[in-house]
Every structure is written in C-alpha cells, then in structure tokens.
Structure 1
Amino acid sequence: MPIIRARNLWLLLAPAVLAAAWWQHGASRPGDLAAAVGGQVATSGHARFPAPAREPVRPEPRRETSVPTGLPLDQRAGLEQDADLYGYAQQLAARIADGDADAGWMLSRVYDYCAGYALDPAGYLSDSEWIAHQGSAGMNAMVGARARLAARCAGFTPQDGLSAQQVLAQRVQAARSGSLAAEAALLSAGQPLDSSVAYKRNLVERVLASRDPEAYLALSLAMGARASGDDAYEGFVAGDQYAELAWQVAACRLGLECGADGTLMTSYCAIAGICSQDSRQDFESFVYDAAVPRQGASRMDEMITSLVKGEGVRS
C-alpha cells in the first residue's frame, strides 16, 4: 500500500491540524524538507532547473524542451494561472539566468508544489485512484485537488530530480540573490542565512515593511508554535498555531491567491490531506471554520489586522 494513504486518512479525521500543514507538508514524503535541513545539503547557489527527461516514465506526449516565451507582466501570476507548470518553470529558469531573484523564489514554489507528483507520477495517480474508491465527501475533495495538481505538474518526471534538497537549494540561491520571500522561507525551514536574534528580528521587520504576500506566507511557519519563547520574536504576532494562520490569512488579504481552487487550498488538500467539505470555500473561510474556535475569532481578527497594516505586533 502506498505510504501516502494512512497519512491522508488520518489527516481527514483531524482538520484541527490545519495550522501545521502547508509549509510542513514535505515531512511525510520521501526526501522531506526536515531531513534536507538536517543533512548535508548542497547550497552552493548554483542550483539549476533540471534538464528534461529523455524518456517519460509513462506514456505521454513528447514535451517541448525549448524555453517558452511570454511570462505575464506579473510573473508570480503564472503559479496560479498557468496550466503547464513545467513550461512556467522553464520560463522562470530563463529569468533566473538574467539575475531575477523573484523568479528563483517562484521556481522553488513550483518545485515544492510538484515534487510529490514528480517523484513518482504513476504511484501518485495510483494513490488517487485508491482514494477515489473510498467514496467519502472528504476523499472526493482530495481526489479533485490531486487531479488539479497532477494536471498542472504533468510535464515533470522523476528524472527532473525534484526533491526537498532541490527546493532548499533553490531557495538558498534565491535568497542570496535578494529574494525576501526565499529568505523568509529559509527561516521557516530552520536554515536562516544568519541565526542571530538581531538578524531574525530584522527579517521579520523587513517582511512586515514589504507587505509582500509571498514573504508573509513564507515566514508563517517560523512565526507559529516554534517561535514560542524565542526572544527574536518577542512582541510580534508569533508563538502559536493561530499566529501562523494569521500570517497566512494576512497574505491572502494582501493579494495572495487563496480561492477554493488556488495553489494554497490545493496544497492543503492534495499534499497535506486537509480538505474543506465545501468545494467553494476559500482559505480564510476554511481557517475560521475548521481551525479557529468561536471564542478566539476576535483575537485572530486583531492579529490579522495588525499584520495587514504592516505592524505585526500583538495588542
């Protein structure tokens, strides 16, 4: 039985763990990010987009290996709008070659989103078929999310080498090139560019000043329960699972795509196994419905408002 099944079944029975999902989803798949962080990871800053595989692992049309042109004016929009994330990744790789740090960050997002599929496309589809036969509402939602992910990541194969190590290396490269979001993601991964209290406080302040939704999302895990008792985060919205979610919802309000079929909701459901029973529900509604107790709603509102304003301090 594929290893993904027990994890997904358990998570469907425990929606309260929503607070710990998105940036941690890799911990339950081979080559997880936690292992990458703890091991000897190549972070030379020369990570490149993997070369296309010569032989597909399953019957599929031959994919184009030339670099497509025509990224949208907002290159970040491709993560949500492009039906072919392999092609989008090639476009980003071309931008990286020209020194675009934000393209490096977005490429790491594509790697992270598609890695579970690319590792074993046939196994991924087999798991999806197994899940579909379970027949519950939660399982049906997961099947839909996994289908969306598979359709958009179908250009990738195991030979592309997508892995937690590749995600981490790409983020190190992007951070060193000037991507604030990548820098924040490294802090969330436990691999900050500098481990000092002063650096971490300054990084949080820079993210708040930027009001960049990608940077807010990237920083969210660092501001959750793992920030409890850390002097670097004293006074900020930080220290528990609700703070982590507040950063994510604030990212939505600042412009991150958080709709029912967006990358964030799809990741929670397809990768972490945490799915809304309402297929039309966006991320913010899902958070308040599944993870925030009624008596804690006003506190959550206050934290989110402070973050959206770029203040990020507890009242």
Structure 2
Amino acid sequence: MLIAGILLVLVLVGAGLIWKRDSAVEVAPPEKAAAAEETASGSIGSTDAARPSAARGAQRWQFPVRSEAATKALQARAEAGDAAAQRELALAYDRCLMVSLDPADYPRQIHAFASTRGSAEEAAIAEQAGQALMEECAGLDDGQRIPLDAITMWMQQAAQGGDLEAIATTWRPANTHALEQAALWDRVIAEHHAEALYALSNLYQADERDRRFGDVLAGDHASTALELAACRLGKECGPGSVFMRTMCTAAGACADASYEELLLRALPAAERKVLQMQVEAVLQKLQRQGWASAEPGHR
C-alpha cells in the first residue's frame, strides 16, 4: 500500500537521527537515505538547467536546487556557528548520502528507477527529481563521499545552538521529564514553527501528542493528521518542493501533487474523510492552544 511507504519517508538514516514511522517502505527507489525538506529560507531555488517536463505539459514548477555557490555559503555559515545553517547542512548531507556513495552511477540508477514508474508523467517527474538531487549534491563537499557522522554532528550542533526544528528532530522524550516534553510542544506552538511541529508528529512523541490531541486523533493516521496540519501551517509540502522531490527519490511517490493530495489519493473514501476531519480538528485545537493563525508563512 502506497501510504505505508509514504509514512516512513522522512527518516534520517544511520547516525541515530531516526524519525520512526508506522510500517516499512514498500518501494525501492535509488535514494534509500530519506531526507527532510528544506525550510523556505531562499537558499534553495529553481535552476535554469534543462529538465524533462511532465507528460501532460501542465507542470509549472521545477524542483529546487541549491547552487554550488549557495552550498559553499551555507557550509561557511554552519562552520561559523549559525544554527539554522547547521540544520540545513545536516539535511543536505542526509539527502545526498546515497548519491555520494557512487555519483557516477547515480544517473543510471535514476533512469532505471524512472523506467519502473506507472506512467510517462511519473517517469518524467522521477527524472527531474533525480537530476535536481544530483545537481544539489555535486556542490556539497565537491561531490566527495559524505561520512555518516556528519549528519548527526551538524544536527546536534544545530540543536545545541537553539534551532527549534533541530531540537524537535533530535529530541528523545524517554530521556526527559513530562514537563519538559510539554514545554517543547508549548514552544513549538507559541513560535508557530510548522517544521518543528512536523518533527514532533512521530510516534516518539505519542504521550504528549495524545495528551493534547487524543480526543480528536485516533487510529492509524494520528501522526499523519499532525503532519498534514504542519503542511497547512507553513511547512513546504507542495508540488515541486524539496519535500516532494524527496518523496519521489526516496519513497517512489513521484507526482505533480502536494503531500496531502498524494496521501488522500492513496486512501479509500471513508479513510480519506476521517483523515481530513482529523486535520481540521487538529488545526482548531492548535489555534485554541495558542497558534494564532492557520495560515501558512509562519516565518
């Protein structure tokens, strides 16, 4: 079932930065190291490089790519102690980990992967996503192999530097008091931080999540409802985003669609309705708990 694979997609592999999901991935795309989407910081933008268009010709976006110059600037900011840059660098390393193992062979892997997609449009999107990823990764450490511990190191440094998304990503409630768990949720809500909310949506945070949302979240899609709420509140999950680029290269879900649209397509009508109702209920509760607006663009 497609949704089972989608729910596992954003996992920082190796090095202990793992966001657990409910079940195993059922597809085998070339980028087995899944990633998290970039924040909307402007450091990743579209590229002028030619890429194949989606088959139906209606696609108006290109997958974003960070240029080599922007990548070097990002690394310089991270090395200078910028916590947000350290988090972005950790995510870039995670996305590029598998590409760096054999960059010369990655184009063949992408082409083979694209040839297994279910339609010409999906195949074109897969080719686009793989090309965009290769362009980004070529500028990271000059294309050298990425050490596993670099992902952990930069994300932990970002958390130590106070970056809220990094704190939420690396946080382990088993090692903290319940009051600290509640305080982290309170901070995420007070700061309207959609990316950190997404990071808190997984099963490790189930106790505090259930305390806050247990009256409106139930069943297999409780975490998914929080994820979609985060997308509606500002996390970049739309068509052509880095998030959806990774959905394609890491989970095989190559579509000219948002994360929510992709998930809803994979569900039977009855489950779709339940999930949509849960997302709306979560948004209402978040507003009552202090999230001032359910509009995107929290920063």
Q: 1:159 to 1:140 in 2, by over 3 A?
A: closer
Aligned to 2:194: 213
Indicate conservation of the 8 Å contact 2:173/2:205, yes or no: no
- Check if 1:289 corresponds to 2:289: no
Q: 1:300 to 1:253 in 2, by over 3 A?
A: closer
- Check if 1:22 corresponds to 2:9: yes
Provide, for residues 34-77 of structure 1, a one-character-per-residue CA deviation record: whole Å limited to 9, x for no partner. xx229xxxxxxxxxxxxxxxxxxxxxxxxxxxxxxxxxxx9822
Deviation at 1:19, TM superposition (A): 4.9
Aligned residue runs from structure 1 range 63-212, under 5 A: 76-81=41-46, 83-134=65-116, 136-137=118-119, 138-156=122-140, 160-187=144-171, 191=172, 194-212=175-193
Deviation at 1:89, TM superposition (A): 3.1
Identity value in percent: 25
| Counterpart-to-counterpart distance in 1, 2:91 and 2:234 | 17
Aligned to 1:60: none
Provide, for residues 129-148 of structure 1, a one-character-per-residue CA deviation record: whole Å limited to 9, x for no partner. 21233363244443332222
Amino acid at match of 1:203: L
Deviation at 1:170, TM superposition (A): 0.9
| Counterpart-to-counterpart distance in 1, 2:125 and 2:77 | 35
Superposed CA RMSD = 3.2
Deviation at 1:83, TM superposition (A): 3.1
Structure 1: state its 5+ residue gaps. Answer: 1-13, 27-31, 39-73
Amino acid at match of 1:254: L
Which consecutive aligned stretches of 4+ in structure 1 deviate over 4 angstroms post-superposition? 191-194, 238-241, 308-312
| Counterpart-to-counterpart distance in 2, 1:140 and 1:218 | 30
Amino acid at match of 2:191: S
| Counterpart-to-counterpart distance in 2, 1:164 and 1:214 | 23
Aligned to 2:236: 257
The alignment's TM-score, normalised by the length of structure 1, stands at: 0.66
Provide, for residues 112-158 of structure 1, a one-character-per-residue CA deviation record: whole Å limited to 9, x for no partner. 22222223212322211212333632444433322222233222469
Structure 2: state its 5+ residue gaps. Answer: 18-38, 47-63, 292-299
